[in-house]
């Protein structure tokens, strides 16, 4: 089976590429011009460098593939970039898939789109809707928090500082999933032969963990006493109000305001399945997959067995 993978230079895309190669798929990776060197080499791998958003002939050298997996994501979350990448890039991929009769399109989305309050979430939903209407069968994967997103305080706590909580530290919860387990889940979906488009919320092995519990696990892994300090999540609103007048004139400040909205969202919303009828997040109904645990990940990073994951542009700590 020949698979086209977009986003192979990202955190999850890299893990998906490793999994595809481990399972003997023939893979074409689509990367930005000049980024080919950032992808592992293998005889089963063809690297295509193309500017999908600017070059209308980007598909020329691809030929026929059986499935498309998209792990592309806006690196900044800024509204204009989210529109270009989360929607525009994926739409271009889907047009190619439709024209060439691809049998499955697998999309890396996010569980947080259940409560769309942010620009990038709305762009993701716009594309999910397009995929659902397409003739190409779609698989929409909506994961909970990645391990990488919960690694931001390792250096801080190692340096002897207390673990930083928003509010009580019990405002939110998630079932963290490793890049490897998520990649396995996504690659498994290539075997799905069903028609239509299906949505899969997915977490790692339970139970759901609050930031308090995550902090305790991190302190244990570092052999530090569990000490916390707390800030109110409303501080992100206060900062946003402070820069609001500047955001009228500066697109940079508007992006900054969106980043503060994103930070407030993650400080106050759980990454679990939302139950519309009870208006609550539901840990029990959040599906689990895989074997990698957050405590195992912390232990490996703290001992140096695993490198600290490269952090995204939207990091808080
Ligand atoms: N963080 C979490 O806990 C979490 C949880 C659930 C879901 N998610 C979702 O997962 C996604 C993030 O995944 P990730 O961490 O693997 O992302 P990432 O590491 O930021 O990688 C993003 C990928 O998209 C590519 N890309 C971005 N803009 C591009 C452009 N203009 N043209 C071509 N390629 C472009 C990047 O290529 P370059 O390397 O060339 O920039 C990279 O390969 C987001 O959709 C997020 O909502 C995240």
Three-class HEC string of 238-283: HHHHHHHHHHCCCHHHHHHHHHHHHHHHHHHCCECEEECCCCEEEC
- pLDDT 10s digits, 77-100: 999 999 999 999 999 999 999 999
- pLDDT 10s digits, 280-315: 999 999 999 999 999 999 999 999 999 998 876 555
Q: What are the residues facing 275 on neighbouring strands?
A: 280
pLDDT of residue 25: 97
- pLDDT 10s digits, 197-252: 999 999 999 999 999 999 999 999 999 999 999 999 999 999 999 999 999 999 99
Across 32-40, average pLDDT: 89
Ligand 1 binding pocket includes 143 (Cβ within 6 Å)? yes
pLDDT of residue 264: 97
How many angstroms separate the first and last alpha carbons of the chain?
41
d(CA 206, CA 108): 21
Ligand 1 binding pocket includes 210 (Cβ within 6 Å)? no
Element (H, E) at 221: helix 211-222
Q: Which domains are seen in the chain, by residue range?
A: 2-146+177-202 (3.40.50.720)
- pLDDT band for 53, please (50, 70, 90 cuts): very high
How close is the Cα of 85 to the center of ligand 1, in Å?
9
Q: Which residues contact 1 (CB under 8 A, 6 or more apart)?
A: 25, 26, 66, 67, 190
Task: Give the DSSP per-residue string, 105-152.
Answer: EEEE--GGGGS--SHHHHHHHHHHHHHHHSSS-EEEEEE--BGGGG-T
How close is the Cα of 14 to the center of ligand 1, in Å?
10
Q: Is 87 helix (H, G, I), strand (E, B) or coil?
A: helix
Percent of the chain at pLDDT > 70 equals: 98
Across 265-294, average pLDDT: 98
pLDDT of residue 63: 87
Ligand 1 binding pocket includes 172 (Cβ within 6 Å)? no
The tokens for 216 are 């305790």
Across 19-27, average pLDDT: 97
Ligand 1 binding pocket includes 314 (Cβ within 6 Å)? no
Mean pLDDT of the chain: 95
Residue 166 has pLDDT above 70, yes or no: yes
Residue 41 has pLDDT above 90, yes or no: no
- pLDDT 10s digits, 58-76: 999 888 999 999 999 999 9
d(CA 160, CA 187): 40
Pick the residue whose CA is nearest to atom 8 on ligand 1: 110
Element (H, E) at 69: strand 67-70
Whether the model pTM is above 0.85: yes
Do residues 43 and 78 touch, judged by C-beta distance below 8 A? Answer: no
Ligand 1 binding pocket includes 284 (Cβ within 6 Å)? no
pLDDT of residue 317: 54
Ligand 1 binding pocket includes 146 (Cβ within 6 Å)? yes
d(CA 179, CA 54): 30
How close is the Cα of 70 to the center of ligand 1, in Å?
10
Q: Is 297 helix (H, G, I), strand (E, B) or coil?
A: helix
d(CA 292, CA 180): 8
User: CA geometry: angle at 211 spanning 16 and 112, to 5°?
Assistant: 50
Q: Is 29 helix (H, G, I), strand (E, B) or coil?
A: strand
- Residue in 46, 54, 58 with CA at minimum distance from that of residue 17: 46
User: CA geometry: angle at 9 spanning 188 and 314, to 5°?
Assistant: 105
Q: How far is CA 310 from CA 11, 150, 271, 307, in A?
A: 8, 12, 21, 9
Pick the residue whose CA is nearest to atom 43 on ligand 1: 7
Does residue 43 have a cis peptide bond before it, meaning omega lies within 30 degrees of 0? no
Pick the residue whose CA is nearest to atom 46 on ligand 1: 110
- Residue in 203, 264, 281 with CA at minimum distance from that of residue 77: 264
């Amino acid at each position: 089976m020949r698979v086209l993978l977009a986003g192979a230079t990202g955190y999850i895309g890299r893990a998906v590429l490793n999994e595809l190669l481990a399972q003997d798929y023939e893979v074409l990776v689509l990367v930005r011009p000049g980024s080919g060197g950032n992808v592992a080499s293998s005889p089963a791998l063809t690297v295509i460098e193309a500017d999908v958003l600017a070059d209308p002939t980007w598909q020329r050298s691809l030929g026929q593939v059986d499935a498309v997996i998209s792990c592309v994501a806006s690196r900044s979350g800024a509204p204009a970039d989210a529109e270009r990448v989360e929607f525009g890039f994926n739409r271009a991929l889907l047009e190619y898939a439709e024209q060439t009769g691809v049998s499955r399109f697998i999309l890396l989305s996010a569980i947080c789109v259940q409560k769309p309050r942010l620009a990038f979430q709305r762009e993701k939903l716009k594309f999910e809707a397009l995929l659902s209407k397409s003739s190409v069968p779609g698989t929409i994967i909506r994961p909970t928090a990645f391990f990488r997103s919960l690694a931001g305080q390792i250096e801080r706590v190692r340096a002897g500082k207390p673990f930083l909580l928003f509010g009580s530290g019990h405002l939110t919860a998630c079932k963290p999933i490793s890049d490897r387990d998520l990649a396995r889940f996504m690659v498994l979906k290539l075997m799905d032969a069903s028609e239509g488009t299906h949505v899969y919320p997915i977490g790692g092995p339970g139970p759901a963990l609050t930031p308090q519990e995550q902090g305790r696990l991190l302190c244990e892994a570092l052999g530090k006493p569990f000490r916390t300090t707390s800030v109110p999540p409303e501080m992100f609103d206060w900062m946003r109000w402070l820069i609001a007048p500047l955001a009228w004139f500066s697109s940079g400040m508007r992006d900054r305001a969106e980043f503060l909205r994103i930070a407030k969202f993650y400080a106050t919303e759980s990454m679990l399945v939302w139950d519309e009828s009870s208006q609550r997040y539901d840990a029990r109904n959040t599906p689990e997959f895989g074997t990698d645990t957050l405590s195992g990940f912390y232990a490996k990073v703290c001992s140096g067995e695993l490198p600290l994951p490269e952090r995204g542009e939207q990091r808080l700590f």
